[in-house]
Amino acid sequence: MSSHPQAAPLIQKMRKSSLRIAKARSIFRLKSKLARNCLSEFLGTAMLLFLGLSVSMQFILSNGVISSWFHVNFGWGLALTFSALATYQTSGGHLNPAISLLMVTLEKLPHSHLLPFIIAQLSGAIVGSIGPYYLYQDQFKHFTSLKTLAFPGLAACFTSFPELHVSNGTAFFDQIAGTGVLAFCICLCIDRRNKVPVFLQPLFFGLVLTMIGCSLSLNVGYPLNPARDLGPRLFAAYLYGIEVFSYHDWYFWIPLVAPCIGAIVGGWAYQIFIGIQIDDDHEEYELKVSN
């Protein structure tokens, strides 16, 4: 900046550039680590739902004209990537009560933090559901003025509903399987022995979600997350009534319970069948490098 007359003061100003943020830090930084973590989970889940539900709404409300099912899978994957990145250094980026529960069983999260985490995640999910609805309120009105769908109709913008020919038993098995794959792959990506660098892990989480959307979303969509499913369902109940819960023989409890079972099964399956079987000294056959 030597050729600029104001260079020296400008550089000095730059050096002080953290002042304003430092002031914000002194005012807004939370003292309690648990509070910081809960804020992180609250915001991350709200961000995930805000972006993810917008993806779903753009698909449904445009009749797929400026969206497609691949947009849904890729968009939700990216939403998870950046939500996880935003919360990864603070609370670990769970954003999902089932994953938090798994982390407790793996002794990575204290028991006493589980309930605060879940409350933060569920509150975040509710708050994150409201934004997209108001953002797209003109589209909701327009869509409704053009056609009337049988229930669930536009409630499917918010939360999961099984197709009529899918039984609740299948839905239950489906959510165990889907969340099992999710938890298995998360444990896979974060296990230091598999050498995925920290900066790629949120991207890999997103790709896992995209993969599940390509493979396991035919029965009920892929909620995989009690907070992601219940939060917007509560808001949808406010909009569309209790049928949001009672539909399909009170299906709503399945994406609350099954993901918790699936996460524990999938996470521990990783530990037992893959994680602990890896040699710590890496004296395997040198398969990965030729010559």
Q: If 0-12 CB within 10 Å is exposed, 13-18 middle and 19+ buried, where does residue 82 land?
A: middle
Interface residues for a copy of itself in 98-117 (CB under 8 A)? 103, 105-110, 112
Length of the chain, please? 291
Stretch that binds a copy of itself, among 18-26, 147-155, 229-237, 243-251 (CB under 8 A): 18-26
Please give the biggest Cα pair distance in the chain. 75
Footprint of a copy of itself on residues 188-207 (CB under 8 A)? 188-201, 207
Sole binder of a copy of itself in the list 127, 166, 234, 261 (CB under 8 A): 166
Q: 3-state DSSP helix/strand/coil percent for the chain, to nearest 5? A: 75, 0, 25
Segment near a copy of itself (CB under 8 A); pick from 75-83, 224-232, 234-242, 252-260: 75-83
Nearer to a copy of itself, 38 or 155 (CB): 38
- Rounded to an integer, what distance in angstroms lies between the CA atom of residue 137 and that of residue 144? 11
Does 278 participate in binding a copy of itself (rule CB under 8 A)?
yes
The amino acid at residue 289 is V
- Cβ–Cβ < 8 Å for 229, 255: yes
Does position 240 bind a copy of itself by CB under 8 A?
no
CB atoms within 10 A of CB 120: 28
Residue from 41, 49, 87, 232 in contact with a copy of itself (CB under 8 A):
87
Size of the site for a copy of itself (CB under 8 A): 136
Using CB under 8 A as the binding rule, whether residue 12 contacts a copy of itself is answered as no
To the nearest 10°, report the CA torsion of 183, 156, 46, 266.
Answer: -10
Tell whether residue 148 is a contact of a copy of itself (CB under 8 A). Answer: no
Write out the binding residues for a copy of itself, residues 216-235 only, by CB under 8 A: 216-219
Residue 123 found at the interface with a copy of itself (CB under 8 A): no
Instruction: Compute how many other C-beta atoms are within 10 angstroms of the C-beta atom of residue 114.
Output: 15
> At closest approach, how far in Å is the CB of 174 from a copy of itself?
6
